[in-house]
Amino acid sequence: MSDHWGLTVQKQSRATLRLPNIDALSTLEMVRLINEQDARVPEAVAVELLRIADAVDRIAERMQSGGRLIYVGAGTSGRLGVLDASECPPTFGTPAAEWVVGVIAGGKTRAHSFHRRRGGDRTKRVHAT
């Protein structure tokens, strides 16, 4: 699936994301399963290195021309965007909240709370963001 910017978007199985029956595993089995899932990340990133480098170059060009990097998301992806944006000033020396911004659907209260998704209505989720 591609969006209008030509970026490829892949959906991962929700069953994989939830790690089914994880609560029924022993602690060792649980951490082993999480570790196995984590070990898949470098390979997935390696496959996309050219696209990632291109995205970084495009973002850098725009930031050098006065643009900003804005993360927008809901739920966990929103929290991770806010977290990544908050780490840019101490890690890369970017001006706080000027160059890199994190936006989460529902605002600041959602950054610290969990709210189950209400069905699959993507339009409502996009509108809330």
Q: Which residue has the higher pLDDT, 16 or 78?
A: 78
Percent of the residues in the chain that have a pLDDT greater than 90, as a whole number = 47
> Residue 110's pLDDT band (boundaries 50, 70, 90)?
low
Q: Mean per-residue pLDDT for 62-72? A: 92
Q: Which two tokens stand for residue 18?
A: 């939830």
Question: Is pLDDT of 121 > 80?
Answer: no
0.85 surpassed by pTM: no
Contact between 75 and 111 under an 8 Å Cβ cutoff? The reply is: no
Checking 108-111 for CB contacts under 8 A at 24+ apart, the result is 110/74, 110/75, 110/78, 110/79, 111/78, 111/79, 111/82
Confidence at residue 117, expressed as pLDDT on a 0 to 100 scale: 58
Angle, vertex CA 80, rays to CA 95 and CA 111, nearest 5 = 90
> Residue 17's pLDDT band (boundaries 50, 70, 90)?
low
